[in-house]
Amino acid sequence: MSLSQSNRRPHICHVITRLIIGGAQENTLLTCQGLHERGWKVTLVTGPEAGPEGHMLDTARQGGHDVVVLPNLLRAIKPLTDWQAYKDLIALFAKIKPDIVHTHSSKAGIIGRFAAHAAQVPYIMHTIHGMSFNRTQDWITQAAYRWLERKAAKQTHRLITVADAMIEQSAEARIAPREKFRTIYSGMRTDWFDPQHYDRRAIRAEWGFTDEHIVVGTIARLFRNKGYEILIPAMAEAAARVPALRFVWVGDGAQRAEYEEELAYRGLQNKTFLTGLVEPDRVAAMAAGMDLLAHASQWEGLPRVAVQALLMRVPVISFDIDGAPEVVIPGQTGELVPLNDADGLAAAISELANNPQKRSQFGNAGREFCLTRFDWRTMVDQLETEYQQLLSGTIASK
């Protein structure tokens, strides 16, 4: 039962470092919107930064709930500014008196939980969208984040993960006891992702591709750690095996010029279309023009783009990391490849490119698998249950 059916209006305050276009941000905005619609009092706190990915601050301000921008809440580590952000959050929590503070992302997750504890907020939650310490970092950075996460976890009543893999990694790193964790899959607007809503042929024509081409899509920032250094040589090898292959990259970022040079060097510039930035509500249209999705990210929480592709009946090839196996099920919804195995990635792309029946089978199964499991309303239902259990004392204290 939603709170709109009762007289209670507990106050939930969500804190996230920045509202760039990204999975954690979409997840958080949908959560705030869903809770607001159900009668909860909601405040969203964020920093001021945008980025080459674009931002969603305007979208947040249209949600009907309160939005607070703290100038000192920045992504980069700056001790003096971070200390000021910590004090700003304490003052804000003391003023608005939330019943629950729910933090997101590494920076806001650590500072926000310490501030909520200092401000004596009754209940504190945190969502792990992706591990703050990961394989792309040096060991000193990983060790520092592990230490901070353990300290912050002691101030936290419930830790939410967007994939079971995050529980395993957190438990292995001794962040907190397993019983403190709960997986709630990241939700999305499944109604946007319906293949029947889009003209596949027209979308492909905009890219210069025809029905005879087999289009491999990638939806990711053009940025380090998204795997383009492995993806590009795999594309070249697959294209040599399957001449009908074409590629489309959805996204933009700091390394675009560098990757374009590499595409030209490998003779792929005339076979690859770069869309640039697209708004979140246009991702489904981009997926509608694809035959399969290649996801080469170096670290991940839950690969939302894999879910979105599968909702559009587009099978997925991904590196076998983190939460990917919980979406990309080999032989059912796509194929998994060992991390950074360029030859394996090329082989998997070539095999699916040459097998339209298997692509159709995987795509249909993927849509069926994802339709309810990853719907944003399912996510809000489960989060609302967690909040109600906190407020009723069902969840144990820290």
- What are 23-32's pLDDT values in tens digits? 889 999 999 9
- Whether residues 155 and 242 fall in one domain: no
Residue 397, domain member (yes or no): no
Instruction: Answer yes or no: is pLDDT of 76 > 50.
Output: yes
Domain match, 181 and 196 both: no
pLDDT value for 23: 83
Residue 163 lies in a domain: yes
Mean pLDDT of 151-171: 93
Mean pLDDT score of the chain: 92
- Mean pLDDT is highest, among 21-30, 59-68, 359-368, for 359-368
Let me know if residue 313 belongs to a domain. Answer: yes
Q: Is residue 73, in this structure, part of any structural domain at all? A: yes
Residues 149 and 257 in one domain: no
Task: Please indicate, yes or no, whether residues 82 and 199 belong to a single structural domain of this protein.
Answer: no
Which residue shows structure tokens 């929590």?
93
Q: Is the pLDDT of residue 301 over 50?
A: yes
Kindly state whether residues 278 and 152 are assigned to the same domain: no
In a domain, 209, yes or no: yes
What pLDDT sits at residue 131?
77
In the prediction, which pLDDT does 77 show?
85
What pLDDT is stored for residue 55 in this prediction? 79
Query: Does the pLDDT at position 262 exceed 60?
Result: yes
Kindly state whether residues 112 and 209 are assigned to the same domain. Answer: no
Q: Which residue has the higher pLDDT, 195 or 5?
A: 195
Q: What is the mean pLDDT of residues 387-391?
A: 94
Shared domain check, 318 and 176: no
Q: Does a structural domain hold residue 380?
A: yes
Does residue 398 form part of some domain?
no
Provide the domain count of the chain: 2
Give the pLDDT score at 5: 44
CATH of residue 51? 3.40.50.2000
Same domain, 133 and 261: no
- Percentage of the chain lying above the pLDDT 70 cut: 96
Higher pLDDT, residue 5 or 140: 140
Range of the domain at 198: 190-370
Tell me what pLDDT residue 383 has: 97
pLDDT band at 136; cut points 50, 70, 90: confident
* Structure confidence at residue 319 as a pLDDT band (50, 70, 90): very high
Q: Is residue 321 part of a domain?
A: yes
Residues 251 and 344 in one domain: yes
Is residue 320 predicted with pLDDT exceeding 90?
A: yes
Q: 211 and 299 share a domain? A: yes
pLDDT tens across 223-235, in order?
A: 888 999 999 999 9
201 & 99 share domain: no
* Pair (197, 301) in one structural domain: yes
Per-residue confidence band for 245, with pLDDT thresholds at 50, 70 and 90:
very high
- pLDDT at residue 334 in the model: 97
pLDDT of residue 328 exceeding 50, the answer is yes
